[in-house]
Copies of this chain bind each other. A is one copy, B any other.
Amino acid sequence: MSTDHSKKPLVSYETLLLQFKELLKQSNPPLKFTKQREIILSTLYTHSGHYTPEELYEIIKRENRDLKTGIATIYRTLSLLENAGIVTSISFGTQGKKYELGVKAHHDHLICTKCGKILEFFDEEIEEKQAQIAKEFNFKMEDHSLKIFGICPECQKIEKERQNANNKKEAKN
C-alpha cells in the first residue's frame, strides 16, 4: 500500500491556472475568467485539504476583504471545477459535501467520526478488485468511492483520557 500525505498538489499554480483558463476558453459557449473564479481556485491550491462550500466561503471572505464573493458563486464554481475534473468531492450524507483539488492521484478516505478529520490512502489491490467486480456485473464503471469510518488516533487518546478521569472520580466516591 502506498500512502500519500503530500500537502502540496502535484502541479504548480501557474500550470493549474493555465489549465483552468484553457478549459474555460474551450467550453461551448466559452466561459469567462473572473476574479472570483481565480480566487476560489487559488484558495483551494494554497489550502490543501477538504472543505465544505461554507468553509471555503469563510476562508475566502476572511482573506479577501476587498473582493465580494457570494456563497452562490462558490457553489457554482465548485460544480464547474468538479465537472471539469479539477476538484473532487466526498459526500457526507445530508450534511453535505467536502471538496478538494483533484490534481492529486486517485485515493480513498479514512474519516474520523469524532473530529471529522480526513486521511487519504491508496491500495492498488483494492482498485483492481473493484474493476474486476464491475466487469463481472457488466457494469461500465465510471467512478468509485471507498470510505472507512472510525476514530482517529488522536480522538482515541482523548477518549481514553476521559475514561481515566472518570475512573479516578468514581474511585474517590
Q: Give chain A's interface residues, CB within 8 Å of chain B.
A: 1, 3, 89, 91-94, 96-97, 110, 112-113, 119, 121, 123, 125-126, 129-130, 133-134, 136-153, 156
Contact = CB atoms under 8 A, between A and B. Distances in A.
Contacts of A156: 138, 140
A146 to B, nearest CB: 5
Nearest to A157: B138
Contact of A146 (B97, B119, B145): B145
A97 B3 CA distance: 31
Contact of A147 (B93, B145, B149): B145
Contacts of A149: 141-145
A133 B145 contact: no
Among A89, A129, A137, A156, which residue has the most Cβ atoms of chain B within 10 A? A137
11 contacts: A1-B133, A89-B93, A91-B91, A93-B93, A94-B94, A94-B96, A123-B129, A138-B153, A139-B150, A139-B152, A143-B149
Contacts of A97: 93-94
A71 B149 CA distance: 29
A98 to B, nearest CB: 11
